[in-house]
Amino acid sequence: MYVLGIDIGSTACKGVVMDENKNIVASAVIPSGTGTSGPRKLEAELTAACGIEKSEFSKIVATGYGRQQYEGADKQPSELSCHTKGVVFLIPGVRTIIDIGGQDAKAIKLNAKGKMDNFVMNDKCAAGTGRFLDVMAKVLETEISNLEKLDAAAEDPVSISNTCTVFAESEVISHLSANVSKEDIVAGIHNSVAKRVASLAKRIGIQDEVVMVGGVARNGGVVRAMGEALGKKVVVPQQAQLTGAIGAALTALEL
């Protein structure tokens, strides 16, 4: 018996197939694409990996930004509930979840029982989201996947005084024309994202253990900066990008 949990984000679709013992038997992440192409490709990849048809999933649960457009779901719970469930499954002691996605950022406060107590989110402003990093990578003529390595080699991170993506972009251009190293600029960019998200998260109060998830958590430079901005150890689960899909699959098992 297999269930499918699917998390349709603004930039990537994530899927997890789980058996009745909560084992993850297959998972996949693919770009969201336009319209329904992302979820369709995701299904194709996961059914192929398990050797079954879509109709053979006993339940399907969809979450994320695009969940309402997804056809064939038995339930479409919010991202907040799925991320919480997914993270608690992976790291039972979690009390604060920081989730930075492609176009938004959230902080979730959990009680000792692993239930959501409060949350705060930004989905209006590109600063402090993956989009900020996209804009900066473009200006720096590098790939998002390179940022972590550049951050690790920084010697004297620049300070970026503007929070706004647009104004910060101009600052980065000035630093480049002043021949500041890309490494130091990238570390400053990561500090800027972390500062912004930390100030969001502090509104609900930060308690150990702090877990970071979402696509941006794969960038160790942001995780480094987040730890510094919060003054706390920040844990990233191996499946940081899959927590929403894992939570969706766990929800499917409960149906």
Given candidates 82, 90, 107, 135, which one binds a copy of itself under the rule CB under 8 A? 135
Q: Distance between CA 104 and CA 127 in Å, rounded?
A: 9
Per DSSP, what are the bridge partners of residue 3?
A: 18, 59
Provide, rounded to whole angstroms, the least separation between the CB of residue 163 and a copy of itself. 6
Given candidates 59, 83, 131, 195, which one binds a copy of itself under the rule CB under 8 A? 131
For a copy of itself, which is the closer residue by CB, 47 or 122?
A: 122
Residue 103, contacted partner among a copy of itself, ligand SF4, none, CB below 5-8 A by kind: a copy of itself
Is 126 one of the binding residues for a copy of itself (CB under 8 A)?
Answer: yes
Is 185 one of the binding residues for a copy of itself (CB under 8 A)?
Answer: no
227-to-5, 201, 211, 251 alpha-carbon distances in Å: 30, 12, 10, 31
For ligand SF4, which is the closer residue by CB, 133 or 240?
A: 133
Tokens 């969940």 belong to 67
Is 167 one of the binding residues for a copy of itself (CB under 8 A)?
Answer: yes
Is 165 one of the binding residues for a copy of itself (CB under 8 A)?
Answer: yes
Provide, rounded to whole angstroms, the least separation between the CB of residue 128 and ligand SF4. 8
For a copy of itself, which is the closer residue by CB, 138 or 202?
A: 138
Given candidates 125, 176, 204, 253, which one binds a copy of itself under the rule CB under 8 A? 125
Per DSSP, what are the bridge partners of residue 48?
A: none
Q: Alpha-carbon torsion 202, 205, 210, 214, what sign?
A: negative
Provide, rounded to whole angstroms, the least separation between the CB of residue 10 and a copy of itself. 10
List Cβ neighbours of 132 (8 Å cut-off, separation of 6 or more): 126, 165, 168, 189, 192, 193, 196
Provide, rounded to whole angstroms, the least separation between the CB of residue 192 and ligand SF4. 11
Per DSSP, what are the bridge partners of residue 82?
A: none
Residue 114 CB coordination number (10 Å): 16
Provide, rounded to whole angstroms, the least separation between the CB of residue 122 and ligand SF4. 9
Residue 112 CB coordination number (10 Å): 9
Interaction site with ligand SF4 (CB under 6 A)? 125-127, 164-166
- Would you say 119 and 106 are in contact if contact means Cβ atoms under 8 Å apart? yes
* Residues that bind a copy of itself in the complex, under the rule CB under 8 A: 103, 124-126, 131-132, 135, 162-167
